[in-house]
Amino acid sequence: MTTEAASETEVKKEPEKSEEQPAAAEPDAAAQTAEPAAGDGKKEPEQPKPAGNNPAGDNPGSDQPAPDGAAPPAPGEAPQNPEAPPPTSEKKKEKEQPAGKGISRFLPPWLKRQKSQSQEPPKEAPKEGSEPPAKDGEPEQGPEGKEPTPEPQPEAKEPPPEQEEKHSIGSADTQPVKEEKAEDEEVKETEEKKAEEVKKEEEQTAKPEGKPAKSPLKLTKKMKMVVCQVAMLDGTQFSCEVEKRAKGQYLFFKVCEHLNLLEKDYFGLSFKDNADQKCWLDPTKEIKRQIRSSPWQFAFNVKFYPPDPSQLTEDITRYLLCLQLRQDIASGRLPCSFVTHALLGSFSLQAELGDHDPDEHRLDYISDFQFAPSQTKELEEKVVELHKTHRGLTPAQADAQFLENAKKLSMYGVDLHHAKDSEGVDIMLGVCANGLLIYKDRLRINRFAWPKILKISYKRSNFYIKIRPGETEQFESTVGFKLPNHRAAKKVWKVCVEHHTFFRLVTPEQPQKAKFLTLGSKFRYSGRTQAQTRQASSLIDRPAPYFERTSSKRVSRSLDGAPVVSVTDSALKPDASAPALSSPVAEENGREPGLELPSDSKSKLRVKGENIYVRHSNLMLEDLDKTQEDVLKHQASISELKRSFMESTPDPRPSQWEKRLTASPATSLRLQAQGKTPPRTEAALPDGKAEDKSADVKQKPEPGELAEVEIEETVVIEEIRKAPKAKPATPEIAAVPEVAVISAAAEKEKKEEKRRSREASTSSESHSESEEEAEYHPQVASVSVEQIKEEPEEEEKEEEEELSKETPPPAVSPAAEAPPDVTVVGKGAAVVVKEEVEEEESAENTAVPADEGQNGHPEAPPEEEEEEPRVNGDASHEAERIPQVICCSEPPVVKTEMVTISDTFAAQKTEISTKEVPIVHTETKTITYEAAQLDGSGDGEPGVLMTAQTITSESLCTTTTTHITKTLKGGLSETRIEKRIVITGDSDIDHDQALAQAIKEAKEQHPDMSVTRVVVHKETELAEEGED
């Protein structure tokens, strides 16, 4: 938007319009704000909805930013002509020297502030200005109108642009601040409400993010905008304002819009962490929490290198891949020979410059290009020589040739990580589409194809893969690698899970998927796996987008052509509206907003506490009615209980802790649990089968799909753990030091008992695990398959349920034939939430979350994480799912506190709790369906296990394992859902809050179901690094 020419008249007009509208809008906004405030007291979703509906629906976090920028200018003209704003801004720019100033008029005060704070370069400012307005045009018309208006008024009144800016800035600041203050409280409440609504939003995900989300944000005005700098592949910088709490998704989609990229699943945003390590931005998580103290600088990169680029649908996608590969080659990340450097360089020249022109193209014409890490004259000559031979190739053809040659390079698409083998020898782990490669120096010394890998896990700084036994081998083997640190280990693990999900879970068995899809919303999920992406991109039927090629160094233009502008206007919309792709992609986008909202809610909900294990709490239907306040109360009570418990209990078993630290990751626990559930042993299935299932899952609702995929993998992992001894972690888990079970009435005593029981159970479990190793193998192989075949439909339903839970509560209930049992897991190390229809203790359960809050970790992330996983499922982000799949054990946990709130089934549950402590037991419960029923229902009638399903999702801090069991008792079918939520993390995370959020979500998700038990097991990390 830096364009200078601007018509003053137009500018003026707009402001005026804006003024008028703003005035009207303000009242509305005020009303809205008031509403939230009123609602504050009550936690009910309804109240939040008013405020939240618009805002929440959209994107609590992300929405705000976009609207803000766009809102002011748009109000007047935008409604009528969405496109109008951009031109005006341009004109302004032209006239006014500083484009920023001109733009500033239109921008809301707070935006200006932010910019100033951020000290964005002039270039950025113009871009932002231009983009936002365009976006606003359409989106704002709908919801936004009101909020933006108030601020615009001041600006509009002041005629001269520059003066206006100043004034507006001042006024804007003040106003926003006030609003913020007033609203803050309200906001919190509203946010909470929003969080609830978020779920709804997620359901609605199909909606375009843009419009609805923006409006809400504006209303709240909390949004603090941050300017993100994104380094594009062509060397340009794309700056984009994002609400501070926006999730990675939001930014990513903005970037994709900017690029006019539809086949976006191969790409991702990366950033450098404090250690200067490149990390992938998790789309489902808040950006701020991922980058932490790092600057808001990102890079747009290829995340999954398509093995066969020729199968990409659009040239623009191939072009971007080419740019990435040129970067990889120039940096030496993709090694290749001299000849290959020359050949690839010559194709680059052909694509960028066209046919070689002897007159125009002297040797120096290629000096701007970098073809190799160290470029020699000889190489350049060779490049030119080869360039001459490409005469006639169009840029697209040259790109295709480039890719055809590049894809054959042995290191193409291999993501390398430094590690040491079991003997301390330096090696490199290479993650690629086909599996995991092990390099020593440049030599490939081992390779593990995905089908050969049963389980992927990491514990502390160790990364493990469990290998399927070969034909001549009887036992699985586990290969361990030592990484520099815990983060590195987790990073590798995540990358593995992502790659496995993306490349391996493509299911050739479409038919089944189709079934699943029919049940759920298939198309929503598209884009996550390569198969889905391909399917989605096959539907693209837009004219090939125009884009300009820029030599890597000369850069300076944005890749996209005209379309980009329009895209920006409808930033959110484009995705949704995107032609063919839209179906899957759009849905994802729609969900994004929802995701964002959760984060907000989380922050509000924050509960102190580290890891809390919530075991039993019976949540009745009443729970649903309970407001957030009630929940908070409960939490508070719980927190008290925890405190008392903490105080009373010394560290029971240091040794156990140690064991844990070393061995048990959350995943291991999960695995164990799953092991019990063997019937579902999807995990056990051979890769192919697993894939199929996963594929099915994926097809279902987006969020669910991810979860499903993960589940499959996790299941596998579980199997491994159970069966193989290799899983040292599980035993450790079992040895949870402190376990407190609180029955509704007497907490402490029960706690102690429970602890005892737990310990006993844990010990037994651990034994069982070790013993189970032998058993599991067979089960995994045979059982899983059979089960799968038999119960495909049921599973699907279950999956759907899960998904529905995650997204919209209502959906879940229907999906489950017998909604009754829902287990809600609390958190700490692991949270299992079981909801049983019969149980009345729900109230207590609600309290549980509050208790968790006690832990009082400053960071709300856990909640987000929990939500995210769900969302992920919905959103269908691979990254999110990936984490879930992965078994993560977070070593640092020192103390474990068990708080069991429940009651009727305490005894029975105790077993579970014990199990839970280890993390595994929860799943175990589900697995042992009969036992669980006895405990929960008290009927004692043996049920027929119809289906069992376990889904595990993991985010950075939170691992959610959902186990769904359907049983047939008498004529009634009962669906029991157990969720185990393990919140792990550095002290940064507010576990309590996360737990509370998780429970709340669970309830919301499954309105029809009652929460039977909430068990909170809290493990405090005494010293993380001890083992490291």
Partner 1 sequence: MASVRPYGHFTHAVVRGIPESFGRKAEGGETDGECETDLAKAQRQFGVLTGALRQKVGLQLIEIPPDPNLPESWRIEDVAVIQGDTALITRPWKQQRRSEAEALRRVLSELNLTVVEMGGEEGGSGGATLEGSDVLFTGKEFFVGISSHTNHRGAEVLADTFRDFAVSTVPVCGGARLKNVCSMGGPNTIVIGNSEGAKKTLRTMEQLTDHHYEVLTVPEDMAANCIYVRGASKMDFLLHRPTEECPNSAPAFQKLTDYTLLPTACSEAFKLGGVLSSFCLLINRKLQI
Rule CB under 8 A: say whether 281 interacts with partner 1.
no
Structure tokens, 480: 């361990």
Binding to partner 1 (CB under 8 A): which residues in 756-785?
Answer: none
Rule CB under 8 A: say whether 336 interacts with partner 1.
yes
- Pick between residue 307 and residue 654 the one whose CB is nearest to partner 1: 307
> ∠ at Cα 100 (99, 104), nearest 5°?
120
- Which residue in the set 41, 338, 542, 778 belongs to the binding site for partner 1 (CB under 8 A)? 338
Within 8 A by CB and 6+ apart from 863, the residues are: 598, 599, 601, 602, 605, 606, 990, 993, 994, 996, 997, 998
Q: CB 441 → partner 1: shortest distance, Å?
A: 5
- Which residue in the set 178, 362, 391, 408 belongs to the binding site for partner 1 (CB under 8 A)? 408
- State how far the Cα of 1012 lies from the Cα of 243, in Å rounded to an integer: 38
Q: CB 686 → partner 1: shortest distance, Å?
A: 18
> Which of 866, 898, 799, 828 lies closest to 1004 in space, CA to CA?
866
Instruction: Give the binding range for partner 1 (CB under 8 A) out of 338-346, 768-776, 880-888, 913-921.
Output: 338-346
Count, residues near partner 1 per rule CB under 8 A? 21
- Which residue in the set 410, 518, 538, 648 belongs to the binding site for partner 1 (CB under 8 A)? 410
- Pick between residue 438 and residue 825 the one whose CB is nearest to partner 1: 438
Q: CB 407 → partner 1: shortest distance, Å?
A: 9
Spell 185-201 as b/e; 16+ CB within 10 A means b: ebbbbbbbbbbbbbbbb
Rule CB under 8 A: say whether 255 interacts with partner 1.
no
Q: In sequence order, what DSSP letters do the residues of 412-432 get, joined into one string?
A: TT-EEEEEE-TT--EEEEEE-
- Pick between residue 503 and residue 523 the one whose CB is nearest to partner 1: 503
- Pick between residue 178 and residue 440 the one whose CB is nearest to partner 1: 440
- Pick between residue 272 and residue 447 the one whose CB is nearest to partner 1: 447
φ, ψ (nearest 5 deg) of residue 207: -60, 150
- Pick between residue 389 and residue 556 the one whose CB is nearest to partner 1: 389
For residues 430 to 449, the per-residue mask of contacts with partner 1, x marking binding by CB under 8 A and - elsewhere, is: ----x-----xxxxxxxx--
- State how far the Cα of 275 lies from the Cα of 926, in Å rounded to an integer: 41
- Pick between residue 3 and residue 434 the one whose CB is nearest to partner 1: 434
Rule CB under 8 A: say whether 275 interacts with partner 1.
no
For residues 341 to 380, the per-residue mask of contacts with partner 1, x marking binding by CB under 8 A and - elsewhere, is: -xx-------------------------------------
- Pick between residue 423 and residue 647 the one whose CB is nearest to partner 1: 423
- Pick between residue 338 and residue 546 the one whose CB is nearest to partner 1: 338
Binding to partner 1 (CB under 8 A): which residues in 183-242?
Answer: none
Query: How large is the greatest C-alpha to C-alpha distance in the chain, in angstroms?
Result: 92
Q: Cα 867 to chain center, whole Å? A: 9
- Pick between residue 342 and residue 454 the one whose CB is nearest to partner 1: 342
- Which residue in the set 98, 160, 235, 335 belongs to the binding site for partner 1 (CB under 8 A)? 335
Q: Cα 486 to chain center, whole Å? A: 20
- Pick between residue 324 and residue 924 the one whose CB is nearest to partner 1: 324
- Pick between residue 362 and residue 440 the one whose CB is nearest to partner 1: 440
Q: Where are the beta strands (DSSP E) in 432-507?
A: 435-440, 443-449, 453-459, 462-467, 477-482
Q: What is the DSSP letter of 889?
A: E
Please, what is the angle between helix 338-353 and helix 315-331, to 10°? 140
φ, ψ (nearest 5 deg) of residue 952: -125, 135
> ∠ at Cα 253 (250, 255), nearest 5°?
110
- Pick between residue 408 and residue 554 the one whose CB is nearest to partner 1: 408
To which H or E segment does residue 50 belong? helix 48-58
For residues 292 to 331, the per-residue mask of contacts with partner 1, x marking binding by CB under 8 A and - elsewhere, is: ----------------------------------------
Instruction: Give the binding range for partner 1 (CB under 8 A) out of 333-341, 547-555, 612-620, 985-993.
Output: 333-341
**Contact 948/924 with Cβ under 8 angstroms?**
no
Strand partners, 419: 427
Q: CB 786 → partner 1: shortest distance, Å?
A: 30
CA distances from 240 to 36, 68, 659, 870 (A): 29, 12, 47, 27
Rule CB under 8 A: say whether 996 interacts with partner 1.
no
Binding to partner 1 (CB under 8 A): which residues in 500-559?
Answer: none
Q: CB 450 → partner 1: shortest distance, Å?
A: 12
Rule CB under 8 A: say whether 1023 interacts with partner 1.
no
Three-class secondary structure assignment of 8-19 = HHHHHHHHHHHH
Rule CB under 8 A: say whether 340 interacts with partner 1.
yes
> Which of 891, 876, 897 lies closest to 1027 in space, CA to CA?
891
Rule CB under 8 A: say whether 669 interacts with partner 1.
no
Structure tokens, 630: 């009630």
Rule CB under 8 A: say whether 425 interacts with partner 1.
no
Q: List interacting residues with partner 1 (CB under 8 A).
A: 335-340, 342-343, 405, 408-410, 434, 440-447
